[in-house]
Structure 1
Amino acid sequence: MNDAPDLDTPDLDTADLETPDLAFARKVLAAQPFSVLLGTRLVSFGDGEATLELDIREELRQQYGYVHGGVLSYAADNALTFAAGTASGSSPLTAGFTIDYLRPATGELLRAQAKVIRAGRTRAVCRCELTTVDGDGVETLCAVAQGAISYTGTSNGEVRGAS
């Protein structure tokens, strides 16, 4: 039984899963309604690494003016899974991850850079650094995450995206 909603994703071709590239990965991101809502961009994808960015807006802050931890967690989750997607032609889904918040996230841009630590046939372990970038281009590390990503494959022509 599939609990996932039936998304209209006509541009996603399961044959592209064999050799995913940045263009295909961007289509996967564009098929995620929540990522579209946040305005997330995939800026790099390949060789065991992926980088997501999103502009920090007022709507993404908590009551003290810092980026909400849920936004940081979302960015880490998706970046970890996209990084794992560079290592396998199967559809990656997050099996679990931990995140450590190091300092409040402020600035104009949130960047999540993830890297595969080890990829096996059915799972990958990845790490992610979350940084913010201020108006002067200064980067500040605000959180780190590590996660396990499962490779689910595809069934019945279904394509599953990151996270």
Structure 2
Amino acid sequence: MADLTLEVAQKLLAAQPFSALLGARVTAFGDGGATLELDIRPDLQQQNGFLHGGVLSYAADNALTFAGGTALGPDVLTGGFTISYLRPAQGTMLRAEAKVAYASRRQATCTCELTTLDDAGTSTLCAIAQGTIIAR
């Protein structure tokens, strides 16, 4: 969508109170993809010190939906998604990179890779998600 820019995507994310609570940010948007990042903080971890699975699911859901929006426009919702946790998420930052695999006029199927980065910038794949995004 030509009228959707990174700045517009950032404003849409900022309008979501839960995203603000988590400190999420859209760092890339367009050309069939979107990237969402958030800092891994102690209050987002579970009892073993790993990032809580709910935070990973949130990041996948939003990244998938933003990616779908690049194909369908800004008025979209998640129709459903699945996530596979590959390894415990730990580090300093979570990155969710989503892209459109297929889009029709009313829906898009998108994939997302969730990686963590440590202080040295080393990236570790921790989860993969796939979702269907629908135009409202």
Which whole-Å CA distance do the structure 1 matches of 2:39 and 2:11 have between them? Answer: 19
1:18 CA displacement: 6.5
4+ residue stretches of structure 1 with deviation over 6 A?
none
Q: How does 1:138-153 map to 2 (within 5 A)?
A: 138-152=122-136
Of the three residues 22, 25, 41, the one matched with 2:25 is 41
1:89 CA displacement: 2.3
Aligned-pair identity in percent equals: 64
Which whole-Å CA distance do the structure 2 matches of 1:63 and 1:138 have between them? Answer: 24
Q: Is the 8 A contact 2:72 2:108 kept in 1?
A: no
- 1:60 matched to which residue of 2? 44
- 1:20 matched to which residue of 2? 4
Q: Tell which structure's C-alpha radius of gyration is larger.
A: 1
Q: Is the 8 A contact 1:18 1:90 kept in 2?
A: no
Name the aligned partner's letter for residue 102 of structure 2. Answer: R
Name the aligned partner's letter for residue 95 of structure 1. Answer: G
Where does structure 1 lack aligned partners over 5 or more consecutive residues? 1-16, 153-163
Structure with a larger share of its residues in strand: 2
- 2:97 matched to which residue of 1? 113
**1:113-149 CA deviation, whole Å, 9 max, x = no partner?**
0000001111100000000000000000000000000
Name the TM-score, length of structure 2 as normaliser: 0.97
**1:70-114 CA deviation, whole Å, 9 max, x = no partner?**
000000000000001111225110000000000000000000000
* Number of positions where the alignment pairs a residue of Structure 1 with one of Structure 2: 136
Where does structure 2 lack aligned partners over 5 or more consecutive residues? none
Name the TM-score, length of structure 1 as normaliser: 0.82
